[in-house]
Amino acid sequence: MFWKRWASRDRAPRLRRGSFRDLLLSMLTFGTVVGVATPLVAKQLLHMEQALTIRFGVISVSMGLLLGCVNFKLFEALVLGRIAKVVRGMRAISRSVAGAADDPEELSKIRKLDVTSDDPIGQAAAVFNDMADSISRRIAVESRTRKLLAELSANVELEPVSRQILEAVASVCGAKAGVLYGDTGQRLDLLASFGIDRAKDLPGRIDATQGLAERALMTGGLLFVCPEREGLEWIQLSTPLGGFHPTSLALVPLMAEQRPVGLAAVACVEDELSERQRLLLDAIRMQAAPYLHTAILHKKLRELAAVDELTRILNRRFGVRRLDEEFSRSVRHGVPVSVIMMDIDRFKALNDTFGHDAGDVVLTAVASSLESNVRSGDVVCRYGGDEFMIVAPGMGVNDAAAAAERFRRIIETSPVRWGDQSLHVTVSCGAASWPVVRASSGEEIVTAADEALYHAKESGRNCVSVHQGDKVTPLPPIAENAEPVSL
C-alpha cells in the first residue's frame, strides 16, 4: 500500500523507479546496520549484560529500521516535495513552450519556476528558467521572421518589399525614422524612407565603397554611429515639442550569400540593443536580404523588358500598356488624352546611303530629343522601326497639334553628327485626341493618329496633320520662339 501510494504521485518516472527505490533501500540498510551495531556498542561501552540477548537485538534492529523510515519520510517532506514541485513546473512550462510553436500568444502565458534557494534544486530551477527563456526567444524570433517572410514572399515589387523590410528593422530597434538603400549597381540607391522631416535632403544614391557605408558593409555587422559627428545632420525627427536629431544611428547591412545587397539606417534613442533585439535583428536582416535581392533583380528585368535596347526609351509593348492605363484614367475622370505618332522621313534611303550604323545614331538622337522635350508625365516609346509614339495625358487636340509641331521643328533644326558629316533629319507627325476622336480604346486613338500621320506623309512629309474626328486636316507651321534643343 505504501509503495502504491508513492507510485501514483506526480513524479518523474526515473525518480519513482530508480532514485526512490535506491533511497528507501539505503535508509533501511542504514537502519539495519545501526540496529545490529547497537548491541555490540552497548556491550563494549555500557557493559550491559542484556545487550547480547536476542530480545535486545530484535529491539535494536527494529529501532534502526524505524530510524531509516523516519529519515526517509523527512527526506520526502523536505526534498522530494520540492523536487516534485519543480517537475510539475517544468511540465507546465514545457506545455506552454510547445503550444507557442503554433500560437505565439502562448509565450505570454509562460510562468517561471520559483527559485527559493541556492542548493542544487534551486540551481536546477534557475537553469531551467534560462533554458525556457532561450527557447522562448527563439520561438519569438521564428514567429516574427515567419510573418515577415510570408509578407515578403507575397510580393516581388521593389517598393513594397523595401518598405516592409525597413519597417521591420525599425520596429526591432524601436526607431521612429529610417532609410533603406539597395545595391542596384555600382552604388546604393535610395529605396525607402520614413519619419524624416528633411526627406528632400536625402541623398538619392550613395557610394558603397566610401564612408559609413563601406564601414558597415565591410564588417557585415550592426554598426552604431553618431549622426552629427558623421555629417548626417539631415536626419531630423519631429515631436510635439519640436524637431531633434537622434543620438544614435544604427547601420544594418542586409547580406545575401555573404554579399551585401542593402543597407538600412534607423534612428535610435539608445546606442545599444538587448540580446533579444540583436537576435531578432540578425534573423530579419539575414532572411529578408534574399527577398530584397530578388525584388531588385525583378525590377531590373522588368526595365530591360520595357526599354528598347537601342534608343533606351519604352518599347511598343509597354508604351501601348501605358496608353491603355492613361485612356482608362481619362475616361474615368473625363479629361482628354492625346497620341502623337511620328515617323522619320526617308529613313530607308538614309540607311541605304550612310549605312545602318548611321540609322541607329539617328534613331537614338530622335528618341533622346523627344524624351528631353516632353512634359513630365508624358510617355515616349519606340513604336516600331523608325516610328515613335507620344502619349500625352490631359492634353487636348489643339495642344497636341502644337506639341507635334514643336517636336517637328526641334528635330528639323538639329542636325545629327555622323563622323565628319551633318545629317539633316525631318519627321512627319499625326495627332489625335480623345474625346474629339470617339474612341473606345487606346488602340483606336493610335489608329486615328496613324491616319493623320499617313496624311502628313501624303502631304509632302516634314509636317503635322491632325485627326478632327470626322476628317484629317494639315496643320500650318507654327512660329516657335524657343531655341531648339540640339540632338
Residue bearing cell 520595357: 306
Cβ atoms of 405 and 343 within 8 Å: the answer is no
All 3 cell numbers of residue 364?
537614338
Do 465 and 420 share a structural domain?
A: yes
Q: Are residues 50 and 96 in the same domain?
A: yes
Report how many domains make up the chain: 3
Final residue in a domain of this structure, among 278, 305, 332: 305
Which pLDDT belongs to residue 47?
A: 65
Q: Are residues 248 and 206 in the same domain?
A: yes
CA distances (Å), 1 to each of 5, 135, 165, 471, in order?
A: 6, 41, 65, 112
Indicate whether 126 and 252 sit together in one domain: no
Bridge partners (DSSP) listed for residue 422: 417
Is 325 inside a domain boundary? yes
CA distances to 321, 326, 336, 436 from 333, rounded to whole Å, are 19, 10, 9, 16
CA distance 340 to 48: 131
Q: Which residues of the chain fall short of a pLDDT of 50?
A: 1-16, 239-242, 479-487
Same domain, 121 and 247: no
Residue 106 belongs to a domain: yes
Q: Residue 485 falls within a domain, yes or no?
A: no
Q: What is the pTM of this model?
A: 0.52
DSSP single-letter state for residue 43: I
Looking at the fold, whether 323 and 462 belong to one and the same domain comes out as yes
> How far does Cα 40 stand from its chain's mean position?
84
- For the segment 180-226, what is each residue's pLDDT rounded down to a tens digit? 888 876 678 888 888 776 556 677 777 777 677 777 777 777 777 76
Q: In what order do the strands lie in the sheet with 379-384?
A: 379-384, 387-393, 337-344, 427-434, 464-467, 472-475
Q: Check: CB of residue 455 under 8 Å from CB of residue 338.
A: no
The DSSP secondary-structure symbol of 485 reads P
Q: In this structure, are 264 and 366 located in the same domain? A: no
Cell numbers for 91, please give them. 511540465
The one-letter code for the residue type at 178 is G
Do the domain assignments include residue 398? Answer: yes
Q: How far apart, in whole angstroms, are the C-alpha atoms of residue 53 and residue 57?
A: 6
Q: How far is CA 103 from the centre of its chain?
A: 23
The CATH number of the domain holding residue 375 is 3.30.70.270
373-377's contacts with Cβ under 8 Å and 24+ in sequence apart are 373/406, 373/407, 373/410, 373/485, 374/403
Percentage helix, strand, coil for the chain under 3-state DSSP, each rounded to 5: 55, 20, 25
**Interacting residues of 8 by C-beta distance below 8 A, sequence separation 6+:** none
User: Please, are residues 168 and 292 in contact by the beta-carbon 8 Å criterion?
Assistant: no
Residues 69 and 188 in one domain: no
Cell reading at 465: 496633320
Q: State the pLDDT at residue 325.
A: 92
Contact of 406 with 349, CB cutoff 8 Å: no
Amino acid at 56: F
Q: Which of 270, 305, 340 is the last residue of a domain?
A: 305
Do 164 and 248 belong to one domain?
Answer: yes
> Is residue 147 domain-resident?
no
Domain that holds residue 355: 316-475
Same domain, 441 and 462: yes
In a domain, 481, yes or no: no
Q: How does pLDDT run across 351-391, given as a tens digit for each residue?
A: 999 999 999 999 999 999 999 999 988 999 999 999 999 99
Please check whether residue 49 lies inside any domain of the structure.
yes
Residue 293: inside a domain, yes or no?
Answer: yes
pLDDT of residue 175: 78
3-state secondary structure of 357: helix
Same domain (yes/no): 212, 253 = yes
Long-range CB pairs of 55-59 (<8 Å, 24+ gap) are: none
Q: Which of residues 136, 171, 192 is at a domain's end? A: 136
CATH of the domain at 273: 3.30.450.40
Task: Using alpha carbons, select from 152, 168, 162 the residue that is nearest to residue 189.
Answer: 162
Q: Which residues contact 149 (CB under 8 A, 6 or more apart)?
A: 287, 288, 291
Task: Let me know whether 294 and 323 are in one domain.
Answer: no
Picking from 179, 343, 324, 328, the residue whose alpha carbon sits closest to that of residue 246 is 179
C-alpha cell recorded at residue 138: 527563439
- Which residue has cell 537622434? 246
